[in-house]
Structure 1
Amino acid sequence: MTVIAAVLHLAGFLAPAFVTGSLLWLAAGLWRAGRRRRLSLGLLVLAGAAVLFAGLAYFGRDGKIATYAALVLVQGTLVWWLRRR
């Protein structure tokens, strides 16, 4: 596998965490959070990436519906917590 193929593969793997986190960030209005807005988006994407890697480690493959359900649950809970702060 070439370096470019590896980077594209990793980007495709992390895309659900970025897209879901970005949509939740916009929908919850966290983009108006002043100086913490980039931090909140970064936390959402980082938490989503951690869930995706945990799902890959647990199931041994990518793309399981249970992993995506956990992704939404974790990021949704994090948005709830960030809104309450």
Structure 2
Amino acid sequence: MSPLDAFWHIANLFAPAWGLAALLAVAIKGLWRRQAKSLGWRRLWAWGSAGGTAAVIAALVVLGRDGRMAGYALLVLGVALPQWYLLSFRR
């Protein structure tokens, strides 16, 4: 595997987490405007991406491979919990 292939392999592993974090940040800024007024897009995305990345790594360790439904459930939880925490407790 070339270095470029390895880069794309890793990027595609984490792409669902980063994409879901971006979509959830847009939804939060659109649906909860007053509550999310002090939170920036990048901050919401960064926290969600970090949680999603940790969830993908945890799913790989626990489940042994990528692509299982339990892994995707963990991914959704990993993205949503940090953004919920920011929205509820850290303004």
TM-score per shorter chain, which class?
0.7 to 0.9
Unaligned runs of 5+ in 2: 31-35
Within a 5 Å distance, the mapping from 1:24-35 to structure 2 comes to: 24-29=24-29, 33=37
SS at match of 1:29: helix
Structure holding more helix per residue: 1
Relative to the length of structure 2, the TM-score reads 0.81
Counterpart Cα distance in 1 of 2:25 and 2:62: 27
2:26 and 2:41 in contact (8 A); partners too: no
For 1:65 and 1:47, how far apart are their aligned partners in 2? 17
CA distance in 1, matches of 2:18, 2:29: 16
What is the aligned partner in structure 2 of residue 82 from structure 1? 86
Q: Identity, % of aligned pairs?
A: 33
2:33 corresponds in structure 1 to: none
Q: Which amino acid aligns with 2:48?
A: L
Structure 1 unaligned segments of length 5 or more: list them. Answer: none
CA shift for structure 1 position 40: 2.5
How much is the aligned-residue C-alpha RMSD, in angstroms?
2.1
The number of aligned residues is 85
